[in-house]
Amino acid sequence: MTSNVTHNCSRTKQEVVRERLLKMFTFSLTFVRHGETQYNREKLLQGQGVDTLLSETGVQQAEAAGQYLKDIAFTKVFVSNLQRAVQTAEIILRNNSHCSGMEMVLEPLLRERGFGVAEGRHKEYLKNMANAAGQSCRDYTPPGGETLDQVKLRFKKFLKALFKQMLDEHLSSGPAASSGASASGDVAQGTAAVASNTPPRCSADDGLQGVLVHTLVVSHGAYIRVAIWHLVEDLNCALPAGAKMQQVFSPCPNTGISRFILTLSESESGPVLSAARCVFTNRKDHLENLADGE
């Protein structure tokens, strides 16, 4: 009799574990910064108040990013509603083998950091203001501008809505819609590469093995830097083996690409981030063949 009770309890635990796994969902989140604008070339701050299109070089960069990402079947595309980001996203999608004609979501929460009175002025103007205030240029907030915490709050709002949408759309469809990969799913592969002294593979689909749902976000340099900081520092996102923090948090180049693998689970209070892994940040391999890649 005791043996039967133990067996039943064991089976119940297995069922609970299985049920929890079925309520978990993994997807990729790929960030791309917009292509170069004339303001970028002249080192002028744009923020939110200066809304310009891409330069000729910026169009070439966006085309190169689109070619690089062309075989990734993005299921959702979220874009800042500023023109430079929208144009970049349109070019990327036009080059994509799976997403040509896909409708993208214009999201104000993804807009660049507001730089207030410094918008339209040279970066040296902001640097001089920061020096006068005794602060670093990154941490300084010009009059009328957004603080880093305010930018982070916007990103957190975007993530919260994204997480809910992901679980609502994919877990509600049943177990088949949920990816079987976890955010740490490629750890063994990465460890093996280090052990054998084999250089890690560097391709557009890095980190996507076993992941079925892919989200693309096209945004801005300062915004993406804050987003990466939040994912790594606040949400304890695991970094690639041997990654240097200086590189992880370095400024993102025009059309620089960063990728994270996120695993969500359901709870009574809503979606919970169960695991997060950074695959790479600020990648610019696709710009190598351009005459002027920066």
Q: Is 289 annotated as a binding residue?
A: no
User: Do 141 and 213 contact (CB within 8 A), yes or no?
Assistant: no
* Annotated binding-site residue? 38: yes
Is 125 marked within a binding site? no
56 is annotated as an active-site residue: no
Among the listed residues 63, 112, 119, 146, the single catalytic one is 112
Instruction: At 236, list the tokens.
Output: 């304890």
Any binding-site annotation on 170? no
Out of 34, 170, 220, 230, the active site residue is 34
The answer on whether 225 is annotated among ligand-binding residues is: no
Task: Flag whether 123 is marked binding.
Answer: yes
43 is in an annotated binding site: no
In single-letter form, the type of residue at position 170 comes to: H
- Is 112 tagged catalytic? yes
Q: Is 135 annotated as a binding residue?
A: no
Would you say 35 is a known binding-site residue? yes
The annotation status of 12 as a binding-site residue, yes or no, is: no
Task: List, as one string, the DSSP characters of the chain.
Answer: -HHHHHHHHHHHHHHHHHHHHHTEEEEEEEEEEPPP-HHHHTTB--TTT------HHHHHHHHHHHHHTTT---SEEEE-SSHHHHHHHHHHHHH-TTTTTPPPEE-GGGSPPPBGGGTTSBHHHHHHHHHHTTS-TTT---TTB--HHHHHHHHHHHHHHHHHHHHHHHGGG-GGGS-S--TTTTHHHHHHHHHTTPPPP--TTTT-TT---EEEEEE-HHHHHHHHHIIIIIS-PBPPTT--HHHHTSPPPTT-EEEEEEEEEEETTEEEEEEEEEEEEEE-GGGTTSSS--
Residues with catalytic function: 34, 112
Annotated binding site: 33-40, 84, 123
Annotated binding site for substrate: 33-40, 84, 123
